Each structure stands twice: as C-alpha cells, then as structure tokens.
Amino acid sequence: MTTPSSPPPRRETPPFWRDPAKRALLFQALMLAALFAVIGFIVSNTLENLDARGITTGFGFLHDTAGFGIVQSLIDYTPQSTYGRTFLVGLLNTLLVSTLGIAAATIIGFLMGIARLSPNWLIARIAGAYVEIFRNIPLLLQIFFWYFAVLRSLPSPRQSMSLGEAVFLNIRGLVVPAPVGGPGFVWTLVALAVAVIAAIVLVRWNRRRQAATGDRLPAGWISAGIIVVLPAVVFIASGMPLTWDIPKLGGFNFSGGITVLPELLALWLALSIYTGAFIAEIVRSGIQAVSKGQTEAARALSLSGGMTLRLVVIPQAMRVIIPPLTSQYLNLIKNSSLATAIGYPDLVSVFAGTTLNQTGQAIEVIMMTMAVYLTLSLLVSMFMNWFNARMALVER
Amino acid sequence: MLHNNKTLLCSATAIMATLLATGSAQAGETMDAVKERGQVVCGVSTGLPGFSTPDDQGNWEGIDVDVCHGVAAAVFGDASKVQFVPLNAKERFTALQSGEIDVLSRNTTWTATRDTTLGLNFTGVSFYDGQGFLVKESLGIDSAKQLDGAAFCVQSGTTTELNLADYFQAHDMSFEPVVFDTSDQTVGGFEAGRCDVLTSDTSQLNALRIKLSDPDSAKVLPEVISKEPLGPVVRQGDDQWFNAVKWTLFAMINAEEMGISSENADEMKGSEKPGIARFMGSEGNFGEAMGLPADWAYSIVSQVGNYGEVFDRNVGAGSPLNIERGLNALWTEGGIQYAPPIR
Amino acid sequence: MSKLTLNTTPVDARPAPKRSIGAIAWLRANLFQGPINSVLSLLAIWALIAGLTPLIQWAIIDADWIGTSREACSSGGACWVFISARFEQFIYGFYPSELRWRVDLTFVLFAVMIAWLALPRLPAKKLAAVLTLAVFPIVAFYLLHGGLFGMPTVPTHRWGGLMLTLVLAVVGIVAALPIGIVLALGRQSKMPIVKSISVVFIEFWRGVPLITVLFMASVMLPLFVPTEVDMDKLVRALIGITLFQSAYMAEVVRGGLQAIPKGQEEAAAALGMGYWKRMGLIVLPQALKMMIPGIVNTFIALFKDTSLVLIIGLFDLLAIVQAALADADWLGYSIEGYVFVAFVFWIFCFGMSRYSQYLERKLHTGH
C-alpha cells in the first residue's frame, strides 16, 4: 500500500528495444539496409563479371538485325527484321496460343465439370477418369506425347488426310481454307456489328421490361435470329463477295489457305486438355458449393431445369468458380512457355531462346521476358477481378 | 518448429557449402583451378558421330573429344584426365561464360560476334566446314536452288539458322524454318517428314545421315553455302589458359607436318633435329612459358596422336563417316591447316 | 400468363412403382433415365469399347514383355522390352552401377520417413518431423553425393532419372517451406516495409513461368555471384526451384494462418508472449496441421514441374526417356516411353492427391 502523500510511481520510458513501435522501426530499417546490401552485392558482382568476361550490355541489340527466320508470325517478319521485332512476334505468338488455350480449356472444363455431376453414371465416371488422368501427368510430357507420338505419325503432305478436299491434316499441320473478302464484303461485317449491338440492346430492354412487367420475350432466340439473318441478307444482297482460298498441293507442301502448325496444335491440345482437367474440378466444386435448397426452391417456383441452371445455380457457382479459374488462366499463360520444348515460336522460344543465344545478352533478355509475363498476369488478374466484382452478390 | 527451421537452415547451408566446394571453383586463373581439380572440364555436344559422341560404354570419342584429351595430356601428361559435359547449342556459351566448363570443344563456328560481344576467345580451327543440305532421295532434287518454299529442320542457336536466312534472302526464295534444340531432334523431324530438308554443317550431315534408319534414302546436295571454321573456345581474359588450349591444337597440326605420330613419338623424342627437339621439349622452355610441363607436346602426340591421326580415326578414312581431308589437309598437301611454328 | 383452370375428372390410378433395386433398376436409374441419357450412355459405351479395345490389345495382349533387344519386339503391340532394357537408366540416370545401392538405401530411408509421417497410427510424429526435415537431408546428401567415410564421390552430372526427379522435388519443397513461412508471416506483418517486400517477392515469383526462372538460374545466377564461386548446375536449378516454390508455399502458409482464429494469437499476446513465441508455439503449430493438404498439393504441382529441368539440360525421368528415344537401336518406341513416364508420374501424383483429399476430409471433421 502506498501512502497517499508519496508521488505516483513515474512510469519509466522503457529502453527502445522494449518498445514494439521503435523495435519495428529499427527492424524495418535493418531489413531495408539488408535488402539494399543484397541488391548492391548482386549488381556490383554482375557488372564486374560482365566487364571481366567482355560481355556487351544495354538494349541496343533490339535495333540490330535478327538474321534468323521464324516459322509463324502474326505480323510482317523477315530475317532482316530487328531483334525488337522478334520480341513482338514471340509475344503475339504467346498471346495467340494463350487465347486459344483459355477458350478451349474453359469449354472443356465446364463441359467436363458439369458431366462429372451428371446423373448418368457412365458419363460422370468418364469425366472423373479424364480429370484424374490428365491433371496428374506433367504438362511437358503431354506436350511431347501429342507432338512426338501423335502428330509425328501423321502422313506426309502428299498422303494428307482430307475433309472434302478443303481441309487437310498432315505432318506439316492442319491446312484449312482461308476466307478472302471481296470488295463489298465490308458491308456484311458492318451488318454483323449492327446485329450484335441490336441484340445487346434487345436483351437489356427485355431485362428491364421483365423487371417492370414480369413479362419476358424469348430474347435469346430473337437475338440469335437477328445476328444470323441480318448479315446473311446483306451478304446475299451485296452479291456474296466472299471467296475461299482453298489450299492446293504444290511443290513441297500445300500453298494457300491457313496452316496451323503441328507445334501450335500440339501445344494447344496439351494446354487445353491439361488446364481443362483443373477447370472441371473447379466447376464441379463450384456447383456443389451452391446449396441444394437453391435448386429445390427454383424447381418449386416451376423454373425449368435449364432455367434453374442458368438463372440460379451458375450465377451463384460463378462466385466460387472465378477466383480459382483466374489462377488457372494465369497458369495456362505461364505454361504456354513450354512451347520452347517443341519449337513453337513463342516468346520464350524465339526471344529468351534464339535471340538470347545469338546476342548473348542474358540479363536484358530474361528481364524483358519476365516483365512480359508479370504484366500479362497483372492484366488478367485485373480483368478477372473486375468480372468477379460484376458477378458478386448484389445485396438489396 | 522454430528449432526445426534453424537446424534445417544449418543443414541446408552445410550442403550448399559442400556442393560449392566440390564444384569447380575458379576465377581468372583457369590453369590453377584445372591443376587443383586434377581434371579438365570440357563441353562437348550431346551426341554427334565423329565429333563427340558416347560409345556403348559411355566413353566419349570424336575429333572434338580428342582435342580435350590433348589439353589434358598437355596439362597433366595424362590424356584421360578429362570430364565431358554434354551441352546443346543453346546452353554451350552460357556454360563456358559461367565457368561450368574450362574449354568448349563442340563443333562451334568462329564468328565475330561470338569472339567479341559474347566474351569468348576462339583458339584456332580444328575443322574447316561449310553448311549444306540433306534431302530425301525421293524428292528428286539435285540443287539447293530448287528448294524454294521447302521446310528446313535446323538446330536453334546455331550459325546454321542465320546462314539459312541469308542464303534464301540472297536467292530470293522463301523457306519455313522448323527449329529444334538438339541435332538428334532435327534428324527425328527430318525422318518423320516434318521438314523436307535437314541443314547443318556438311560434316555433320554425313554424320547424321548414318543415324537415319535407311541412310541411302537421303543425300547431301552439292552446295556449300557458308564458311564454318569450327574450333575450341575459352573464356576471354585468361591468356595463359587461352595459350595452352591454342598451342595444344597447333602442336597436333605441327606434329603431322613434322611427321611425328603416336607410333614414332618415342623414337623421335631423342631426335637432335632442332625443330623436333623444340617440339619434344628437350630444347627451349616453351612449356614453362605456358604453365605446362616441358614435354607437353610429346604427351599430346604420344597419347592422342597428331592431327592427321585424329582426323582419320574419327571422321576420315578410318571411320564410318569417311570424310575427305579437303580443306583440312595440311597446307603442304593442298589444304589450309597451317599452324604457327613452335620456336 | 396462364389462367387457373379446375379439372374435375378423376385422375387414373398410378401404375405400381418401378423396381428400385437390382441390376436392371440400377441401369435404369443411372444410365437410361430418359431418351437423352440413354443416347449418351450408348454413345459412351460405344466410345469406350472402340477406344479401349485397341488400347488393351496394344498395351497388354499384343505387347512384348521379355527380351533384351528390339528383335524381341515382333508381335506388333507395345514393346515394353524397351522399358525393361533401359529400366536401370531410367531410375538411376548415369549413376555408377556398383554404387546404386546408395540410391536404393536413400529411397528406402525416404519411404520409411514418409510412411512414418503419413500413417496416422505410428507414434512420435514430432521426432519423425525433425528427422525428416533436419537429419534425413544431410544423410541423403552424403549417401547420394558421397565424400564421407571413404565413399567415392558421384558428381551431380551423373545423377539422373527418377532419382533426380525425386531429389529436385523433395529438396525444392523442403527448402521452400521455411522461406514460405517467413514470407507468409511477412505478408501478414503490420510493418509496411516488411509487408511490401514480402508481397513483391511473392507476386514476382508467382507471376513468371518456371521456365524463365530456370533459365535465369542457369544463365544469370553465375553472373550474380563473385567469380570465385562457381555453382553446380544442379544447385543452380535447385535455387531457382526453391525461390519459385517458396512463393507458392507462402500462399499455402497464409491460407493456414488465416484459418486460425485471431483469438488464439490475442490470447497468447495476453499471456505476455512475444511475436516469435506466439507464432512458433501457438499459431504455426496449429496452422501447420491445416496446411498439410495444401503442402501436398503444392508438392504434386512441383513434382510435375520438375520435368521442366530437361529444358536446361538436366536428365530427369522425362529427359532421360526422351534421350533414350533417340537411340538408333530403339527408334520408333516413343509411345511406350511416354506411357511409361506418364504412368510413373501418375502413380506418384494420384497417390499423393488421394492422400491430401483424405487429410482434408479428416481435418474437416475436426472443426
């Protein structure tokens, strides 16, 4: 017991290492110093090593002539183009296979995910076997399998498998006719654009009308009709200005048409089948996460099976599905870099492979490559977050 | 948990340290590091008959391999003290730059870029080559001029890839490059029909043709579209090691010119002829100047052989490849193999 | 909108309920519920018969199993002789044959440790964890690499095959775990600098493909360190894999940390425990249990990803089979080779994923 006359015990300021706030500050300062020390160490070593070994540095090489050919390019490219151009060609090829892969993997994944929950025992088992087989085998092995074991056993161009003398499949790839628009063809495209916009407007109007009156039109069928009929009418009216560039066998290979390289085919197949197996699992667990009461309530309101799925189950399941789906998309983009193993000219193969080897400027090339993938990851994440926010529960 | 982490970290550090210690540690002084290690680490191809290829027992053989044996003989007096590291075209320069290997002897073409901006030094030419084309006999083609629009299997990261583009631009023709990482894969692609033409150095084409299931189904076109001087490579900035590798090659060529071979090296060792005496190390101290034993050149010739022997054994008349000496004959015999004198 | 109508005619009596047990009832309930399902089922049955019959014919009935050379493969089916002739190489790589007992011993030790950890009935899990994480790596390293007690050294460039695949995956995961824990704690830290460094580190490694990381490790790492230090190719690949994997591990750890109620840490703080005590004694031990399925899943992903080292020239299982396919004596058996590799990977990955699902179920009931 203290006597009332004595002064209250003064709280001594604790030494700074006992004060969490100061300690945190000190710790962070030390951490920052360590980080800078490590970075400094690496940078100085690198500069010293580059200098000692006489390796050129800088980004000047991007303006030098590349001097090698690339088998597939979405933009104009010749061996006289610069290394900067090879970067673009590789980037576009990466984007091409990623986009194709994401589209196919999403379709396969949703089909298989729904099939896994099918009341049909056999279908559910087949979908289950698909998922368990393909997600447990390394992607690289699957790429090799499609490329070296399957596509390598296709016949030579002269013995191509053909479909109606227009589509050909051989060891050099898949050759399909290319559409060539005539002078008036642009109007058909315009009509198509108008039809799509009209359909969107119709769907929105229909939704508002339904909210207001409870009445709804079969907007899906009507908009499909608009999208098909309007361009078709314009197309016929303008005298059908579209011809097909049918591939012809001549010289060493088919000329004309569009050739899908076997490397692209193999990569596309492997990426979409592999990623599709993961997406199927995500879709399955997403649908299962929607409580059964929701379906039962929808059926009690006499919604049809399709409407239940479309209006009740999928919107709720999507909220569970989208975040893991995003990371699968990111994985697919990153995995497309395995292209280098079979020589599909993607960014890693063309730029981080051949360009790096011809210029020897590893640091610049690898940094640029990594920056591209980081940017792509960031963009896809941002888009999917936006999409997720739109799908999120709107609470009234 | 915390305790676990600490022990884990310690053990990881210990393992790392051991691996670092066992890995080859060297800096500018490659020679010292090689001597300390007791082995020359030599980068070779992943398998190219005649140049560097493992036999059934996993022993490496070939002309590139023998150059490495020569270096080991010069440094240690024992040609067997070599460790071979198989590399593909893409990784070869990195492996050399990073110090993973001491010398790269992997049918590598000497070019200005590689000699300068890549930080490498070419020590000489062990084989004069040129790029050619291998086509299926069934195509009925006799000249490269008929190859407009053909698909070419080519190894990526090589000068071949660049020459191909040059040639087709110069002749205003189009081509479709199908690139692979290893020469095995290019042969696979060619054989399966992924491409019409296999292009590489002509010596390699001969070697790769033997690998086909039916070698007679393909032929090499007469055109040679480039100069491909192939030779051993070392890092820039270490002149002593550069000299040792360079003069190993020169010693092999000089030996052939002087008529010294693995068979007569022992009798020639006592020779009083000034040139031969200098070569054998009984006169002068050329070895010492390079950081090598006095009898370095004798060791090379007696254990590995002279250039002519190496050539015949691996790619020439004594091998399945049966490549003619051609440019690779000595300058005295109509070729361009010419080594500076040892004096 | 339809009008409400009243039907006054009596409804017919319903037929007797259909059989709900027995094979036919099962078929009806599971395969032929309606026209669409019936068609689908028939299609599926047809596809299975059309697809599996030739496969079984090729892989089992027509296959050649015994022999040593390609002459033994004459029946037109799969040539498993190719696998058996090269089996040792696929498992051990170029490891000297007289020293392979060391690899076998490591495998056995590893299997024992894993069984000890994974089977719930066996006692002394803590001891097992310490042994696996701390003692086993050292023992395994000296067994595989040699250099102790007069055991001859086997340089890493002779390692290969399944053995190398396992080394890469196990070392990658074991080394990534502590870094992942530190990163996850850093990400949850209230200190802004620590937090941002962790976030940037994690997101960087998660945003780039493993291939570029391996390229960086094999091409650039030697430039980052002083010239005196020269790292083994395998070590460089391991450093790359570990850094890459630690970011994924950090996210797994974060998930585990978030699953622990905040009250736990607050209670520990109320007892006067410092940060490291709170984490090390209260939060992490609980979180670690929750993380095991996640860790197993990460391990599966890493196990599959190790096949990428073939691109930087290490001979893992896939790479060594790929190399064997180019052997002139065995040309044309690529399908057999790939099927074998796929089978090995599948067994490992499927087994592990089943184990992690089992754990998830077990943990689920616990809460």
Q: What is the pLDDT of residues C129-143, one digit of tens each?
A: 777 777 887 888 878
Closest chain C residue by Cα to residue A33:
C193
Among A3-17, C75-89, C256-270, the least confident range: A3-17
Q: Does C204 touch chain A (CB under 8 A)?
A: yes
Answer whether B23 touches C (CB < 8 Å).
yes
Listed residues B193, B226, B259: the one ending a domain: B226
Count of domains for chain B: 2
Beta-sheet pairing, B197-201 with B151-155: parallel
Query: Closest Cα of chain C to B282: distance in Å?
Result: 37
CATH number for B76: 3.40.190.10
CB < 8 Å to A171, chain B: 192-194
Task: Tell me, yes or no, whether B1 lies in a domain.
Answer: no
d(CA B276, CA B258): 8
Render pLDDT for B54-103 as a digit per residue (tens, 0 to 9): 776 668 889 999 999 999 999 999 999 998 888 877 778 878 887 778 99
Provide the H-helix boundaries in chain A: 20-52, 83-116, 121-134, 139-144, 185-213, 219-237, 262-289, 292-300, 305-307, 314-335, 347-349, 356-359, 362-391
Do residues B219 and B75 share a domain? no
Instruction: Report the C-alpha gap between B46 and B36 in whole angstroms.
Output: 27
pLDDT above 70: percentage of residues in chain C:
94
CA distance A228 to A198: 12
Helices (H), chain C: 23-30, 35-56, 81-92, 100-118, 125-130, 136-145, 161-188, 192-207, 210-215, 221-224, 233-258, 262-270, 275-277, 284-305, 317-325, 334-366
| Cβ neighbours of A48 in C, within 8 Å | 226-227
Interface residues on C facing B, Cβ-Cβ cutoff 8 A: 94, 129-130, 133-135, 137-138, 141, 145, 147, 153, 155-157, 174-175, 178, 181, 218-219, 221-223, 227-235, 276, 280, 284-285, 288, 312-313, 323, 326, 328, 331
SS3 for B149? coil
B235–A71 C-beta distance less than 8 A: no
The pLDDT assigned to A373 comes to 93
Give residue-wise pLDDT tens across range C285-306: 888 777 888 888 888 889 999 9
- In terms of domains, do B74 and B141 share one? no
The answer on B189 and B239 residing in a single domain is no
Joined tokens for residue A340: 């280098």
Cα–Cα–Cα angle for A220, A222, A227, nearest 5°?
95
Nearest to B90 among A171, A357, A359 (CB): A357
Whole-number Å distance between alpha carbons of A197 and A121: 42
What angle in degrees, to the nearest 10, is found between the helix axes of C161-188 and C100-118?
40
Interface of C with A in 245-304 (CB under 8 A): 300, 304
Query: Residue B136: enclosing H or E segment and its boundaries?
Result: strand B131-136
pLDDT of residue A181: 76
Output B195 or B11, whichever has higher pLDDT.
B195
Quick one: tokens of B282?
Answer: 């009984």
One-letter amino acid of C326: A
Residue B322 Cα, gap to closest chain C Cα (Å): 20
Q: What angle do CA A332, A338, A340 make, to 5 degrees?
A: 145
- Cross-chain residue pair A80–B169, CB shorter than 8 Å: yes
A373 vs C212: CB contact, 8 Å cut-off? Answer: yes
Higher pLDDT, A40 or B19: A40
For residue B184 the two structure tokens come to 């095995």
Residue B1's pLDDT is what? 37
How far apart are alpha carbons B141 and B181 in whole angstroms? Answer: 27
Q: Report yes or no on B317 lying in a domain.
A: yes
Rounded mean pLDDT of B160-185? 87
A70 in contact with B at a CB cutoff of 8 Å? Answer: yes
Closest partner CB to B100 (pick from C145, C233, C323): C233
Residues B206 and B133 in one domain: yes
Q: Which of C30, C311, C325 sits opposite A340 (nearest CB)?
A: C311
Final residue before a domain boundary, out of B210, B226, B242: B226
Subunit contact B23:C174, Cβ cutoff 8 A:
no
* Separation of first and last alpha carbons in chain A: 61
Instruction: Band the pLDDT of B24: cuts 50, 70, 90.
Output: very low
Distance of residue C158 Cα from the nearest chain A Cα, in angstroms:
22
Length of chain C: 367
Domain hosting residue B213, numbered range: 129-226
pLDDT of residue B28: 46
- Is B16 part of any domain? no
Q: How far apart are CA B181 and CA A349, in angstroms?
A: 10
Mean predicted lDDT score pLDDT of chain C? 82
Q: Residue B24 and residue B21: Cα distance in Å, rounded?
A: 7
A343 touching B (Cβ < 8 Å): yes
User: Measured between CB atoms, does B28 come within 8 Å of chain C?
Assistant: yes
Alpha carbon C166 to chain centroid distance?
A: 10
Structure token digits, residue A342:
């079979």
Higher pLDDT among residues B164 and C74, named by residue: B164
Mutate to test the interface with B, among A263, A358, A359, A364 (most CBs of B within 10 A): A358
- How many CA atoms, within 13 angstroms, populate the side-chain half-sphere of residue A208? 5
Domain membership flag for residue B220: yes
Angle at alpha carbon of residue B298, lines to B295 and B302, rounded to 5°: 140
Yes or no, beta carbons of A123 and C193 under 8 Å apart: no
**Structure tokens that stand for C134 in this block:** 């701390």
Decide: residue C131, CB within 10 A, 0-12 exposed, 13-18 middle, 19+ buried: middle
Give the chains touching A; criterion: ≥3 Cβ pairs < 8 Å: B, C
Are the beta carbons of A55 and B94 separated by less than 8 Å?
A: no
Instruction: Judge whether B236 is closer than 8 Å to chain A, CB to CB.
Output: yes
**What pLDDT is attached to residue A337?**
92
Q: How close B180 comes to chain A (CA, Å)?
A: 6
Q: Take residue C239 and report the two structure tokens written for it.
A: 């450093």
Please, what's the largest Cα pairwise distance for chain C?
Answer: 100
**Residue C58 pLDDT exceeds 90:** no
pLDDT tens-digit map of A234-288: 888 887 777 787 887 777 777 777 888 899 999 999 999 999 999 999 999 888 8
| Backbone CA torsion sign across B171, B175, B181, B183 | negative
The reported pLDDT for the residue numbered B18 is 43
The answer to whether the CB of B40 falls within 8 A of the CB of B105 is no
Tell if the CB–CB gap between B113 and A358 is shorter than 8 Å. yes
Give the three-state DSSP class for B294.
Answer: coil
Q: Are residues B65 and B110 in the same domain?
A: yes
What mean pLDDT is reported for chain B? 84
B residues 114-153 lying closer than 8 A (beta carbon) to A: 114, 116-119, 139, 148-151
**Residues of chain A contacting C207 with CB distance shorter than 8 Å:** 330, 373-374, 377-378
Of A42, A334, A362, the CB nearest to C209: A334
d(CA B222, CA A339): 34
Residues B214 and B139 in one domain: yes
Calculate how close chain C gets to A121, using CA atoms only, in Å. Answer: 5
Amino acid (1-letter code) at residue A200 = I
- Phi, then psi, of A161 in degrees rounded to 5: -80, 135
CA dihedral A243, A246, A250, A254 (to 10 degrees): 130
Same domain, B309 and B197: no
Give the residue-averaged pLDDT of C234-247. 90
Pick B118's closest partner by Cβ from A156, A252, A360. A360
Which residues of chain A register pLDDT less than 70? 1-14, 16-17, 392-396
Residue A340 DSSP label: G
Instruction: Classify residue C38 as exposed, middle or buried by CB count within 10 Å of its CB (0-12, 13-18, 19+).
Output: middle
Give the residue from chain C lying closest to B91, CA to CA.
C312
Q: Say whether B5 and C178 touch across the interface (CB within 8 A).
A: yes
Rounded to whole angstroms, the Cα distance separating C315 from C318 reads: 8
Q: Pick the more confident residue, C313 or C271.
A: C271
CA distance B44 to C156: 17
Question: Do B239 and B220 belong to one domain?
Answer: no
Higher pLDDT, residue C257 or C30: C257
Question: Between the CA of residue B264 and those of A111, B73, B248, B282, B293, what are the distances in Å?
Answer: 78, 17, 19, 16, 20
- Going by C-alpha positions, the residue among C344, C346, C314, C348 that lies closest to residue C83 is C344
The answer on B170 and B198 residing in a single domain is yes
Identify residue A255 by its one-letter amino acid code.
S
**Which residues, numbered 152 to 181 in chain C, qualify as contacts with chain A under a Cβ-Cβ cut-off of 8 Å?**
none
Burial string for A9-43 (b: 16+ CB within 10 Å, else e) reads eeeeeeeeeeeeeeebeeebeeeeeeeeeeeeeee
Return d(Cα C3, Cα C5) in angstroms, integer. 6
pLDDT digits (tens, 9 = 90+) for B233-288: 998 888 899 999 999 999 999 999 999 999 998 888 888 888 899 999 888 888 88
Burial of A156 (0-12, 13-18, 19+ CB in 10 A): middle
Question: What are the residue ranges spanned by the domains of chain C?
Answer: 77-95+154-363
Q: Is the pLDDT of residue B16 over 60?
A: no
Q: How far apart are CA B161 and CA B171, in angstroms?
A: 16
Nearest to A171 among B114, B165, B193 (CB): B193
Q: Are residues B237 and B108 in the same domain?
A: yes
**Cβ <8 Å between B98 and C222:** yes
Q: Is the pLDDT of residue B151 over 80?
A: yes
Residues facing A65 on adjacent strands:
A82
B8: in domain:
no
- Do β-strands A178-181 and A242-245 pair in parallel, antiparallel, or remain unpaired? antiparallel
Q: Which residue of C has its CA nearest to A26?
A: C191
Examine residue B336 and state whether it is found in any structural domain, yes or no: no
Structure ipTM: 0.84
* CB pair distance less than 8 Å for B237 and A262: no
CA distance B330 to chain A (A): 32
From B203, B226, B249, give the residue that closes a domain. B226
- Shortest CA distance from B150: residue in chain A: A252
Residue B28 to residues B119, B220, B266, Cα–Cα distance (Å): 13, 44, 35
Q: Are residues B203 and B245 in the same domain?
A: no
Q: Are residues B220 and B232 in the same domain?
A: no
Domain-located, residue B334: no
Class of domain C77-95+154-363: mainly alpha
The three-state secondary structure class of B316 is coil
Q: Degrees (nearest 5) of the Cα angle C262, C267, C269?
A: 100
Closest of C346, C341, C315, C296 to residue C164, by C-alpha: C315
Identify whether B262 is part of a domain: yes
Q: What SS3 class is residue B100? A: coil
Mean pLDDT of C273-293: 83
Q: What is the pTM of this model?
A: 0.83
Q: Tell me whether residues A79 and B165 touch, CB distance under 8 A.
A: yes
Contacting subunits of B (3+ beta carbon pairs below 8 A):
A, C
Yes or no: say if A64 and A321 are a contact pair by the CB < 8 Å rule: no
- Give the closest of A46, A145, A370 to C212, CB-based: A370
> Cα–Cα distance between A67 and B168 in angstroms, integer?
11
C114 and A CB contact within 8 Å: no
Is residue B156 within 8 angstroms of chain A, CB to CB?
yes
C141 chain-B contacts, CB cut-off 8 A: 15, 18
Report whether pLDDT(B3) > 60.
no
Total residues found in chain B within this entry: 343
Contacts of residue B283, defined as CB under 8 A and 6 or more positions apart, other chains included, come to B274, B277
Please tell me which residue of chain B has the smallest CA distance to A342. Answer: B180
Enumerate residues 241 to 300 of chain B having a beta carbon within 8 A of any beta carbon in chain A.
none
